[in-house]
């Protein structure tokens, strides 16, 4: 619809429209509904893949080359970063949720950063796919040297500096 509605073929304008109008719909409340099946991840990613392919001059590039050229991230990576930011907010009491309802926080650390969390055993399959179970491995693998836990703003900036492969492969 964006490509039909806009008369201009300016790529920056079209990408901005996609970021403003479409991406929020794809990412809304992703900490709760984030897909766990590979086919669901692919279907959601297909929306952005199809849009970037239809832009003038980008058809022959690979998906990751198009994203790099347009300065965009995969939707999967954005969901992971969103989960980590919510985890930070829960651990550091920025949101009004009891962190002990979600996580068991480590009191001793031998390796890695000092904010390690433990995975709880859940017999219910619904909870095993929910946010707190999905984010534990990624959170615990955050690199010590490049992750800044000083403030939410600095934490978000340090997530942008971390190699994307570390965040996506940790799942």
Number of structural domains, the chain?
2
Question: Are 82 and 152 found together in one domain?
Answer: yes
Look at the pTM and tell me if it is higher than 0.95.
no
**What's the pLDDT at 156?**
93
Count Cβ atoms below 10 Å from residue 130 Cβ, excluding itself: 17
Question: Are 68 and 102 found together in one domain?
Answer: no
Question: Are 45 and 108 found together in one domain?
Answer: no
Q: What is the mean pLDDT of residues 4-28?
A: 90
Question: Are 59 and 110 found together in one domain?
Answer: no
| 76-101 per-position pLDDT tens digit | 999 999 999 999 998 898 998 888 77
Q: What is the mean pLDDT of residues 125-151?
A: 76
pLDDT band per the 50, 70, 90 thresholds, residue 129: very low
Question: Are 91 and 156 found together in one domain?
Answer: yes
**What's the pLDDT at 29?**
85
Three-class DSSP labels, 26-95: HHCCHHHHCCCCHHHHHHHHHHHHHHHHCCCCCCCCCHHHHHHHHCCCCHHHHHHHHHHHHHHHHHCCCC
Domain that holds residue 54: 2-72
| 30-62 per-position pLDDT tens digit | 877 878 788 988 999 999 999 999 999 999 999
Question: Are 87 and 164 found together in one domain?
Answer: yes
**What's the pLDDT at 3?**
80
Q: What is the mean pLDDT of residues 147-161?
A: 92
Report d(CA 19, CA 55) in Å as an integer.
14
Q: Over 70: is that where the pLDDT of 1 sits?
A: yes
Q: Over 70: is that where the pLDDT of 171 sits?
A: no
Question: Are 67 and 90 found together in one domain?
Answer: no
Count Cβ atoms below 10 Å from residue 132 Cβ, excluding itself: 22
**What's the pLDDT at 8?**
82
């Amino acid at each position: 619809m964006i490509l039909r509605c806009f008369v201009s073929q300016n790529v920056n304008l079209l990408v901005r429209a996609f970021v403003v109008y479409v991406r929020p719909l794809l990412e809304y409340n992703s900490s709760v509904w984030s897909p766990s099946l590979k086919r669901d991840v692919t279907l959601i990613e297909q929306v952005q893949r199809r849009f970037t392919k239809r832009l003038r001059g980008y058809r022959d590039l690979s998906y990751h080359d198009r994203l790099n050229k347009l300065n965009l991230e995969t939707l999967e990576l954005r969901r992971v970063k969103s989960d980590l930011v919510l985890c930070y907010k829960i651990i550091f009491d920025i949101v009004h949720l009891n962190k002990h309802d979600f996580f068991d926080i480590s009191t001793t650390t031998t390796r890695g950063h000092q904010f390690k969390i433990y995975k709880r055993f859940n017999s219910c399959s619904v909870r095993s796919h929910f946010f707190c179970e999905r984010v534990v491995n990624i959170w615990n693998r955050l690199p010590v040297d490049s992750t800044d836990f000083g403030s939410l703003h600095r934490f978000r900036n340090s997530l942008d500096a971390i190699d994307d492969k570390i965040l996506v492969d940790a799942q």
